[in-house]
Structure 1
Amino acid sequence: MKRDGEGRILAISRQAEAGFDESLPADSPEIAGFIGGNGREALASTDLRLVRVLEDVIDLLIARDLIRFTDLPQEAQDKLLQRRTLRAKLGGLDLLDSDDGLI
């Protein structure tokens, strides 16, 4: 398990990994609280980033003529168009640090 400077759980792992210096029983109330509370927040945060990654993958597949936008179900088309419109209004949403050098 990893903790922050204030002792809050940041991450848990089933296997021994570097930086995971502490272990607790799986039925620990602290772990249950993390999974039930902060774990959900962390999952939601990664879900948002994953959505953007999927949008980029779809755009790439379309750009390379591997799929057509109209091949997607209508509901997916509507959601993608809505997100593109919102992102354009917000001036784009950069989920990757510009220092990463990633596209």
Structure 2
Amino acid sequence: MVWVKRGDSGAVVSVSLEPDAQHPDRADPSDVGVQGFVQALAGSDTLAGSDLRLVRVIEDLIDLLIERDLIRFTDLPDAAQEKLMQRRSMRASRSSLDLIPGNDEVI
């Protein structure tokens, strides 16, 4: 059994494994409304995964532009420089632990 919060239209807008003030209604996990909510979440995960892959493409594009001297790293805003350096650092530390070379998944 799960506990749900319903919106004004009666559609499930949130699910919890425990009852609380926000999730007053009890529902079966196989309930059509609960299943619809879960499927909607799965769709947003697909979009998020696509966004992460696009971020990697943009990072590679920035690296290529820098490599070809079309832009300088310092031309980027400070916040962008910091984010790129953090991701490069995470990727470098991850690849040092990676036993299978060429397995370049999204961080």
Structure 1 and Structure 2 fold alike (TM over 0.5): yes
- 2:69 is aligned, of 65, 68, 88, to 65
- 2:104 aligned with 1:94: yes
RMSD, aligned α-carbons: 2.4
- 2:89 aligned with 1:85: yes
- Aligned-residue sequence identity (percent) comes to 55
Choose between structure 1 and 2: higher strand proportion. Answer: 2
Change (3 A) 1:31 1:78: same
- 1:37 is aligned, of 34, 41, 44, to 41
Q: Please, what TM-score do these two structures have when normalized by structure 2? A: 0.54
Q: Please, which runs of 5 or more residues in structure 1 have no aligned partner?
A: 1-28, 97-103
Counterpart CA distance in 2 for 1:89 and 1:45 is 22
Number of aligned residue pairs = 67
Counterpart CA distance in 2 for 1:58 and 1:95 is 18
Runs of 4 or more, structure 1, over 3 Å off, are 29-34
Aligned AA for 1:94?
D
- 1:46 is aligned, of 41, 50, 57, to 50
The higher-RCO structure (CA 8 Å, 6+ apart) is: 2
Q: Please, which runs of 5 or more residues in structure 2 have no aligned partner?
A: 1-32, 97-102
Aligned AA for 2:92?
A
1:65 counterpart SS class: coil
User: Could you tell me how far 1:44 is from its partner in structure 2?
Assistant: 0.6
Counterpart CA distance in 2 for 1:63 and 1:32 is 45
Structure showing greater Rg: 2
